[in-house]
Amino acid sequence: MSAPVLWIFLPLLVAGCLLLVRNRKVIALVACIFTLLLTLAAWLLPIDTVMTIGSWSFKLSSSFEILGRHLVLGSNDRTLLVLVYGSAIAWFAAAPAIKAARRLSSLGLAITALLVAALAVEPFLYAALLIEMAVLLSIPLLSAPGEKPGRGLIRFLIFQTLGMPFILFSGWLLAGIEANPGDLGLVQQAAILIGLGFSFLLAVFPFSSWIPLLMEEASPYTVGFILWMFPTVVLFFGLGFLDHYTWLRDAPALGSILTTVGILMVVSGGLLAAFQRHLGRILGYAVIMETGFSILTISLGGTVGLNIFFMLLVPRSLSLAVWAFALTILKEDSPTLMLGDIKGLGRAWPFATCGLVLANLALAGMPLLAGFPPHQAIWEGLASNSLPVVSWVLLGTSGLIFSAIRVILAFASGSTAANWESRETGAQRVLLTIGFLALLLLGLFPQWVVPLWTNLPAIFTHLGQ
C-alpha cells in the first residue's frame, strides 16, 4: 500500500459512499472517526519503512503513479497531513450541531483529499488542475439545492478558475527558463503569470470581492471551511514554487513585492471590516487580512519567516471555526446578520456572542488569545526591517479591532428589560465552551503546538536554509 492511496484515494472513496447515506448523525460519525484515523496514521505510521507486527510485515511506500504522473507523500509530509486532516476533524465534529453535517462531512472530506493531492502531485504544476477540481466540488457545498447561485459563488468560481491557466502557462515558460536561464524576457513573463495566478487563487485585492459576497449568501460555517482549506493549501503551493525555482527565490524584488501585497491585503481587509454592517462580511475581510499576514511572514525570509508562517496555522483554523460556528447559530435568529438586526441578541445567545467576539479579537492578535503569539512575532520581524510597514499593519489591525467593538455594542444594545437566557442547544454550548478554552489556552501556552509546526519546514528543501 502507498501513502497517496491511504490519504488521497481512500478518503475520496469514503466521501463518495457518504454521499449515498441520508442519516446526518451516521455521516458525521463516520467522517469524524475516519478523519481521526487518518490523522493518527499520519502521526504514527512511518513512510518508506518496513513495519513488523508479529509475523506480519508491511511497508507504506511514498509514491503512487497515475496517468504518467506521480503522487508523492514522504516522511516529511506527515506533519502536514496531521495539520490538514486534524483541522478537518474539528470542522466535521461541530457540523451536526448546526445541521450542516450531510454535505460538509462528505464533500468536505473529498475537497480535503483533492487539496492534499494538489500538494503531493509531481510535476507540482499539475496542482493547479487538482485545485480547480476541488473548486468545482465546492459549488454544491456552497449552493443550496434548488437555489440560484449568487454573485459571490459565481465570482468564486470565475476567479479561482482564472488562476489555473496563468499557473499552467507559467509552467510552460518555466520549462524554457530551465533550458535558457539567461533569457530575461522569459523570466519577466513567467514572473508576471505566476503573480497573476496566485493573485486570483489567494483573492489578492481587487480579486477578493467574492469572499464578503459569499459570506452573505451561503452558510457561514461551510464558507469558513472553504476559506480555511483553500488559502492554506494555495500558500503551501506558493512556497513550493519558491522552493523549486532558485531564480524566483533569489529575485531581488521578491521581498518588496510580497511586503507590498501583504500590506495591501492587511490594510484593505482591516479598514473594510471596520465599516461593515454585516457580520459575515466582517469575517470575510478578516480572512483577507489573515492571508495578508501569511504573505508578510513569507516576505521576512529565512527560517524566521517560515516558522512564523507555520505558527499562524493552528490559531487561524481555530479562530475561523469558532467564528463561523457562532455566526451560523446567530443566523437562526437573525437571517440577515446585519448589525441593526442583532441588537440585544447578546442576552439571548450569550455563548454564540462570546464565541464571535473572542474569535474576532483572536484573529486581530489581542493578548492572551491564540492569535497573539504569532502576531507578536510578525510585529517583531517587521519592526526590525521597516517601521513604516509596521504603521500600515497597525492601521489594518486597528480596523479589525474597531469592528469587534462595533459588534459588541450592537449585541449589548437594545432593551435592558430583556431577560438573560441561552437559546443555544446543549451541544452548541459545549462546543463553544471548548472553543473559548482553546482560544485562551493557546494564547497562554503557545508551546503546546510547537511540536506540530516545528517539523513543517522539513517539507521544503531550500527555503529557510
Average pLDDT, the chain: 86
Structure confidence at residue 54 (pLDDT): 65
Residue 129 maps to a domain:
yes
- pLDDT tens string 166-193: 888 887 777 666 656 666 667 777 788 8
Q: State which of 62, 87, 122 marks the end of a domain.
A: 122
453 has pLDDT over 80 = no
User: Which of 34-43, 126-135, 300-309, 311-320 shows the lowest mean pLDDT across its residues?
Assistant: 300-309
Question: Is the domain of 310 the same as that of 428?
Answer: yes
What's the alpha-carbon Rg for the chain, to the nearest Å? 22
Whether residue 213 is contained in a domain is answered as yes
How far is it, in rounded angstroms, from Cα 426 to Cα 433?
11
Q: Are residues 37 and 70 in the same domain?
A: yes
Work out the pLDDT band at 415, boundaries 50, 70, 90.
low
Same domain, 239 and 270: yes
Question: Does 229 have pLDDT greater than 80?
Answer: yes
87/148 same-domain check: no
Domain check: are 37 and 171 in the same one?
A: no
| CA-based torsion, 301, 304, 305, 310: positive or negative | positive
Whether 96 and 159 share a structural domain: no
Of 122, 153, 168, the one marking the end of a domain is 122
Q: Is the pLDDT of residue 414 over 70?
A: no
Classify residue 464: in a domain, yes or no: no
pLDDT of residue 284: 93
Residues 50 and 185 in one domain: no
Residue 465 falls inside a structural domain: no
Q: Are residues 392 and 454 in the same domain?
A: yes
Residue 21 C-alpha from the chain's centroid: 28
235 lies in some domain: yes
In this model, does residue 338 exceed pLDDT 90?
Answer: no
Residue 67, pLDDT score: 76
For residue 409, is pLDDT > 80? yes
Task: Count the domains in the chain.
Answer: 2
Burial class (CB in 10 A: 0-12, 13-18, 19+), 46: exposed
Report the pLDDT value the prediction gives residue 217, as an integer from 0 to 100.
87
Task: Give the pLDDT of residue 174.
Answer: 72
Range of the domain at 378: 123-459
Domain membership flag for residue 230: yes
Cell of 369: 488569545
Q: Are residues 76 and 202 in the same domain?
A: no
Last residue of a domain, one of 92, 122, 152: 122
Verify that 97 and 133 share a domain, yes or no: no
**pLDDT beyond 80 at 41:** yes
338 lies in some domain = yes
CB count in 10 Å sphere of residue 122: 13
pLDDT at 392 over 60: yes
How confident is the model over 38-47, as a mean pLDDT? 87
